[in-house]
Amino acid sequence: MGAADGDGIEMDTAGILHEMVRLRDNGETLDAAWSAARTAIDGNDAGIGGDVLGSTFRRVYDADHTRVQDLANGVPPMMAASAQVGEQCAYFYRAADANGRTSMPGAPR
């Protein structure tokens, strides 16, 4: 989202902010879809059974099932947090750019 201008990098803050909204929206969409999938997966848990075959299967399945759910549960919040940081960076960049323009002697205003 930046282009070299010969003296450094210029950030397209409007573009960054737009993409951060998209990232946050995609995280919310993913969260809703994962919630529905998680409910469906958990709803089928009883079908594994408690007999010898079911118990043998669960020794392998349960730990992996929990690990995958824990990891997947963390993705939407990470997307939201990344979007928030990206927005902050764009705002900080704008503020620093404005400060630099007004603070430097002889700088164009």
Q: How many CB atoms lie within 10 A of CB 44?
A: 8
pLDDT, greater one: 88 or 99: 88
Across the range 97-108, mean pLDDT stands at 77
Q: Is the Cβ–Cβ distance between 16 and 1 less than 8 Å? A: yes
How does the average pLDDT of the chain come out, rounded?
90
Q: Is the Cβ–Cβ distance between 90 and 20 less than 8 Å? A: yes
* pLDDT tens figures, 26-79: 999 999 999 999 999 999 998 999 999 999 999 999 999 999 999 999 999 999
Amino acid at 49: G
Q: What is the pTM of this model?
A: 0.77
Q: Give which of 16, 4, 40, 5 is closest to 93, Cα–Cα.
A: 16
Lowest average pLDDT, out of 26-30, 86-90, 100-104, goes to 100-104
